[in-house]
């Protein structure tokens, strides 16, 4: 089937392929390391593996969809995010749980992430004429998560949990502040009026291609990076306990 081959200049399909392999490799690594992880951190590492595994499955289908139709697999991407982004927020709850994190913090993080994603989908797909409005609402939810991680409950609990958890939380916080900020760039590139009423890329097809490439790179950095930070935290903590 000729149309399913990846052309040498098809950078969108290439990043989907790389994303699939990278996510799958990360999943295998996290799952295999579960037996070498202390019970205290096993759930956190398991969640990291689930995040990358879910992403790998979606990337496999998104790559096929893009090659077969030439369209951006926006719906499948948001299904992926609806499942994986709240799980990334769960990681903050898990690593601060020993310092007294309550279930209310977990629901705050999950709720904010869902608002961020649902309003982003509405602006990107259902109501593109009002993409700026929906983008602003999504941005407010995003900055609420940033606040919780950097200045709110997550930050305070991390400090009480010890130096290693504090360090890991700050690194994860940078992923949220900088890594997650890549997604608004993709939103701006792919929606009309994404930046104060102007579309940066005027050609619709080129805009969607740019959006997919940005999203693919961001997913690989954030999801795999999140898991590696959690994994490193588990190893540092185990080493401290043994010492």
- The confidence band for 14, taking pLDDT boundaries of 50, 70 and 90, is confident
Three-state secondary structure call for residue 195: strand
Specify whether the CB–CB gap between 141 and 119 falls below 8 A. Answer: yes
Q: Is the pLDDT of residue 21 over 90?
A: yes
pLDDT score for 231: 93
Q: Which of 234, 230, 236 is nearest to 87 (CA)?
A: 230
Q: Is the pLDDT of residue 132 over 90?
A: no
pLDDT score for 101: 83
pTM to 2 decimal places: 0.86
Q: Which of 82, 91, 14, 16 is nearest to 48 (CA)?
A: 91
> Could you write out the DSSP letters of every residue in 131-179?
HHHHHHHHHHHHHHHHHHHHTSHHHHHHHHH-HHHHHHHHHHHHIIIII
Give the total number of structural domains in the chain: 1
CA dist 115 → 4, 90, 110, 111, 144 (Å): 35, 16, 9, 6, 11
> What's the rounded mean pLDDT across residues 86-109?
90
Measured in degrees and rounded to the nearest 5, phi and psi for residue 152 equal: -95, -145
pLDDT score for 2: 45
> Which residues does residue 157 pair with via DSSP β-bridges, in sequence order?
none
> What's the rounded mean pLDDT across residues 101-106?
90
Would you call 58 exposed, middle or buried from its count of C-beta atoms within 10 A (0-12, 13-18, 19+)? buried
> What's the rounded mean pLDDT across residues 148-158?
91
Interatomic CA distance for residues 84 and 14, integer angstroms: 22
Answer with the residue of higher pLDDT: 199 or 187.
187
Would you call 198 exposed, middle or buried from its count of C-beta atoms within 10 A (0-12, 13-18, 19+)? exposed
pLDDT score for 160: 87
Considering the chain, what percentage of its residues have pLDDT values greater than 90? 44
Q: If you search the block for the tokens 């940078």, which residue do you land on?
A: 174
Which residues, including other chains, have CB under 8 Å from residue 8's CB and lie 6 or more apart? none
Tokens representing residue 195 in the block: 């930046």
Q: Which of 89, 82, 94 is nearest to 55 (CA)?
A: 82
Specify whether the CB–CB gap between 109 and 92 falls below 8 A. Answer: yes
Considering the chain, what percentage of its residues have pLDDT values greater than 70? 85
Can you give the CATH number for the domain in which 6 is found?
A: 1.20.1070.10
Domain extent at residue 83: 2-242
pLDDT score for 146: 94
Note the pLDDT tens digit of each residue in 166-198. 888 898 999 898 888 877 776 776 666 554 444
Tokens representing residue 122 in the block: 């509405």
Note the pLDDT tens digit of each residue in 215-238. 898 899 899 999 999 999 888 866
Q: Which of 51, 119, 49, 122 is nearest to 85 (CA)?
A: 51
Note the pLDDT tens digit of each residue in 23-72. 999 999 999 999 999 888 999 999 999 999 999 999 999 988 888 888 88
């Amino acid at each position: 089937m000729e149309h399913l081959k990846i052309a040498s200049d098809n950078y969108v399909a290439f990043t989907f392929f790389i994303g699939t392999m990278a996510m799958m490799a990360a999943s295998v690594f996290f799952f295999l390391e579960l037996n070498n992880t202390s019970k205290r951190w096993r759930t956190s590492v398991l969640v990291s593996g689930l995040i990358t595994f879910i992403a790998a499955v979606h990337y496999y289908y998104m790559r096929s969809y893009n090659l077969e139709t030439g369209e951006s697999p926006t719906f499948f991407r948001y299904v992926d995010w609806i499942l994986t982004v709240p799980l990334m927020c769960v990681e903050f709850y898990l690593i601060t749980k020993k310092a007294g994190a309550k279930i209310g913090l977990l629901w705050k993080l999950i709720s904010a992430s869902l608002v961020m994603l649902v309003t982003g989908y509405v602006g990107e797909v259902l109501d593109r004429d009002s993409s700026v409005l929906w983008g602003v609402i999504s941005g407010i939810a995003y900055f609420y998560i940033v606040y919780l991680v950097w200045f709110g409950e997550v930050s305070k609990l991390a400090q009480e949990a010890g130096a290693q958890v504090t360090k890991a939380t700050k690194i994860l916080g940078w992923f949220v502040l900088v890594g997650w900020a890549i997604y608004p760039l993709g939103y701006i590139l792919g929606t009309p009026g994404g930046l104060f009423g102007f579309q940066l890329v005027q050609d619709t097809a080129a805009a969607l291609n740019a959006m997919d490439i940005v999203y693919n790179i961001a997913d690989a950095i954030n999801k795999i990076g999140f898991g590696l930070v959690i994994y490193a935290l588990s190893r540092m903590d185990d080493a401290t306990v043994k010492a």
